[in-house]
Structure 1
Amino acid sequence: MDSALVIGGTRFIGRHLVEELLEHEYDVTIFTRGNHDNPFESDDRVSHIEGDRTNDSALEAAATTVDPDAVFDCVAYHPKDVQAATRIFDDREAYVYVSSGAAYGREEVPKREDETPLEACTTEQAIDDSSDTYGNRKAAGDRAVFAAAEKGRNAMSVRPCIVYGPHDYTERLDWWIDRVNRFDRVLVPGDGTNIWHRAYVVDVASALRIVAERGEAGEAYNVGDRRLTTLEELVEVIAAQLETDVEIVHAGPHELAAGGIDLEDYLLYRSYPHVLSTAKLADLGWESTPLEEAMERAVDAHLESDRDGSEHGPDREAEERVLGILETL
Structure 2
Amino acid sequence: MKSALILGGTQFVGKRLVQLLLNEGIEVTIATRGITADPFGDQVIRLKISREDAESLKQAFQDKSWDVVFDHTCYSSKEALGTFKALEGKIGKYVFTSSQAVYHFGTNHKEDNFNPLEYKPTLKGRREYSGYVGYQEAKRAAEAILFQHAQVPVVAVRFPIIIGKDDFTNRLKFHVDHVKCGKAIFIEHPDFRYSFIDSEEAASFLLMIANSDYQGVINPGSSEDISLRELVTLIEDQTETKAILQSEGDPSPYNLPGSWSIDTSRAKSLGYRFTSLNQLLDQLINFYHLE
- Per the TM superposition, whether the score is higher than 0.5 is yes
Kept after mapping to 2: 8 A contact 1:145/1:156: no
Partner AA of 1:83 in structure 2: L
**What CA distance in whole angstroms lies between the structure 2 residues aligned with 1:71 and 1:114?**
24
Partner AA of 2:164 in structure 1: G
User: Over residues 43-67 of structure 1, what are the superposed CA-to-partner deviations in whole Å (9 max), with x where a residue is unaligned?
Assistant: x332222222333343334434652
Report the CA distance shift for 1:127/1:153 in structure 2 as closer, same or farther (over 3 A): farther
Aligned to 2:98: 99
Map 1:137-216 onto structure 2 (within 5 A).
Answer: 137-149=138-150, 152-183=151-182, 187=185, 189=187, 192-216=190-214
Aligned to 1:39: 39
Kept after mapping to 2: 8 A contact 1:195/1:231: yes
1:220 equivalent in alignment to 2:217? yes
Give the share of equivalent positions with the same residue, in percent: 27
Return the match for 1:245 from 220, 227, 240: 240
**What CA distance in whole angstroms lies between the structure 1 residues aligned with 2:19 and 2:287?**
18
TM-score by length of 1: 0.75
Report the CA distance shift for 1:294/1:10 in structure 2 as closer, same or farther (over 3 A): farther
Any gaps of 5 or more consecutive residues in structure 1?
Answer: 305-329
Paired residues in the alignment total: 286
Q: Secondary structure at the match of 2:39?
A: coil
Partner AA of 1:245 in structure 2: E
**What CA distance in whole angstroms lies between the structure 1 residues aligned with 2:149 and 2:157?**
15
Partner AA of 2:263 in structure 1: S
Aligned to 2:54: 56
**What CA distance in whole angstroms lies between the structure 1 residues aligned with 2:65 and 2:124?**
34
Q: Secondary structure at the match of 2:109?
A: coil
Aligned to 2:267: 281
Any gaps of 5 or more consecutive residues in structure 2?
Answer: none
1:231 equivalent in alignment to 2:228? yes
Kept after mapping to 2: 8 A contact 1:109/1:274: yes
Partner AA of 1:16 in structure 2: R
Aligned to 2:82: 84
The alpha carbon displacement at 1:140 in A equals 0.2
Kept after mapping to 1: 8 A contact 2:162/2:198: yes
**What CA distance in whole angstroms lies between the structure 2 residues aligned with 1:199 and 1:57?**
35
Q: Secondary structure at the match of 1:135?
A: helix
The alpha carbon displacement at 1:138 in A equals 0.8
Aligned to 2:20: 20
Partner AA of 1:244 in structure 2: T
**What CA distance in whole angstroms lies between the structure 2 residues aligned with 1:124 and 1:52?**
15
Q: Which has the larger radius of gyration?
A: 1
The alpha carbon displacement at 1:236 in A equals 3.9
TM-score by length of 2: 0.83
User: Over residues 119-145 of structure 1, what are the superposed CA-to-partner deviations in whole Å (9 max), with x where a residue is unaligned?
Assistant: 875456876142241110110001012
Kept after mapping to 2: 8 A contact 1:4/1:27: yes
Q: Identify the structure with the greater strand proportion.
A: 2
Report the CA distance shift for 1:103/1:38 in structure 2 as closer, same or farther (over 3 A): same
**What CA distance in whole angstroms lies between the structure 1 residues aligned with 2:24 and 2:30?**
16
